[in-house]
């Protein structure tokens, strides 16, 4: 009986962490991220660097260019 209670307590603690604590932590991190990066622009040399290194990024930028062309 004690073993079952221990297993139940572990599962319950994991569920509470997954349902309440993790979403709150992610929301807090996003809030800080948006404050820190507010007004910043991506550096164009990084886009070129990523395009050269990653085929997936290249495909993604090509798709984005067809949807909303850069002015």
> Per-domain residue ranges for the chain?
1-38, 41-71
pLDDT digits (tens, 9 = 90+) for 13-63: 999 999 999 999 999 999 999 999 999 988 888 888 888 899 999 998 888
Contacts of residue 47, Cβ cutoff 8 Å, sequence gap at least 6: 61
pLDDT at residue 12, rounded to an integer: 95
* Contact call for residues 50 and 57 (beta carbons, < 8 A): yes
Longest Cα–Cα distance in the chain: 68
What crossing angle do the helices spanning 55-67 and 44-53 adopt, rounded to 10°?
Answer: 120
Instruction: Report helix, strand or coil for 62.
Output: helix
Distance CA(55)–CA(71), nearest Å, equals 24
pLDDT at residue 69, rounded to an integer: 59
Global model pTM greater than 0.75: no
């Amino acid at each position: 009986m004690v073993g079952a209670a221990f297993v139940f307590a572990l599962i319950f603690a994991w569920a509470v962490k997954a349902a309440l604590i993790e979403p709150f932590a992610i929301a807090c991190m996003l809030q800080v991220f948006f404050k820190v990066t507010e007004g910043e622009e991506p550096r164009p040399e990084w886009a070129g660097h990523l395009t050269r290194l990653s085929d997936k990024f290249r495909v993604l930028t090509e798709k984005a260019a067809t949807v909303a062309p850069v002015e």
